[in-house]
Amino acid sequence: MATKSGKYWVTWANTNAKNSTNIDDLDTTFKTNVKAFKKALEDAGAKIVISTTKRSKKRAYLFHWSWKISQGKCKPTDAPKMVGVDIEWDHGDIAKSKAGALEMVNGFGLAVPPKSINAPSLTSNHIDGKAIDMTITWAGKIKVKKKDGKEAEVTYFPNANNNLILHAVGDSYSVKKLKTDAPHWSHNGR
């Protein structure tokens, strides 16, 4: 029997639908590229902290539909079923359905309007293992090897979105920066 939406699903997801911080969980090609880029940065003296690699598809499903239902952006019956996630979004009463979804939004710590006006995505590159969130830090200037072996001198910027030389080094390894999301790099820059 399906379990109604609510905080039960936060606990469930934290056991059964976790995100990974392990590079080895990435898509094969992207993983190889990330490892090469990371090695070049570390060889140059940078420090890398990874916050997310592959995102669980089930977790993304729970994020997306709890956000939309709680915010009244769709009807509880609009959420499709997902194999392996036996959730009932429709409590048979719109206020109760929204309250159940909101318990999940709060439990997951999702940003809602006005902080975020977009539902968490169902199609992030993270879900396919083709994106990584990482914070790269160093002091002053370092010389980082590009894939062709040539060195680039890279100055530290507190906001990685503005560091075009660092982006170019990543590009050489086919690890591309999304310039609106500070820790986010992917196979296509999205």
Interatomic CA distance for residues 19 and 59, integer angstroms: 8
184 contacts Zn ion (rule: CB under 5 A): yes
Nearer to Zn ion, 12 or 161 (CB): 161
Stretches 16-24, 77-85, 131-139, 147-155: which one binds Zn ion (CB under 5 A)? 131-139
170 contacts Zn ion (rule: CB under 5 A): no
CB of 95 to Zn ion, least distance (A): 34
Interatomic CA distance for residues 83 and 172, integer angstroms: 39
Stretches 30-38, 125-133, 141-149, 151-159: which one binds Zn ion (CB under 5 A)? 125-133
- Count the helix, strand and coil residues of the chain and give each as a percent rounded to the nearest 5: 40, 20, 45
Residue of 31, 102, 133, 144 interacting with Zn ion (CB under 5 A):
133
130 contacts Zn ion (rule: CB under 5 A): no
Stretches 83-91, 94-102, 142-150, 178-186: which one binds Zn ion (CB under 5 A)? 178-186
Nearer to Zn ion, 88 or 128 (CB): 128
Q: Which amino acid is at 5?
A: S
Stretches 56-64, 99-107, 166-174, 177-185: which one binds Zn ion (CB under 5 A)? 177-185
Rounding to the nearest 10 degrees, give the CA dihedral for residues 141, 157, 21, 128. Answer: -110
Q: In what helix (H) or strand (E) does residue 42 lie, and over which residues does it extend? A: helix 28-43
Is there a contact between 29 and 131 (Cβ–Cβ < 8 Å)?
Answer: no
Tokens coding 36: 């090469």
| Per-residue CA distances from 83 to 59, 61, 87 (Å) | 12, 11, 10
145 contacts Zn ion (rule: CB under 5 A): no
Nearer to Zn ion, 130 or 184 (CB): 184
Nearer to Zn ion, 31 or 184 (CB): 184
Interatomic CA distance for residues 30 and 177, integer angstroms: 13
Tell me the residue number closest to Zn ion, measured at CB: 184
55 contacts Zn ion (rule: CB under 5 A): no
Q: Which residues bind Zn ion (CB under 5 A)?
A: 133, 184
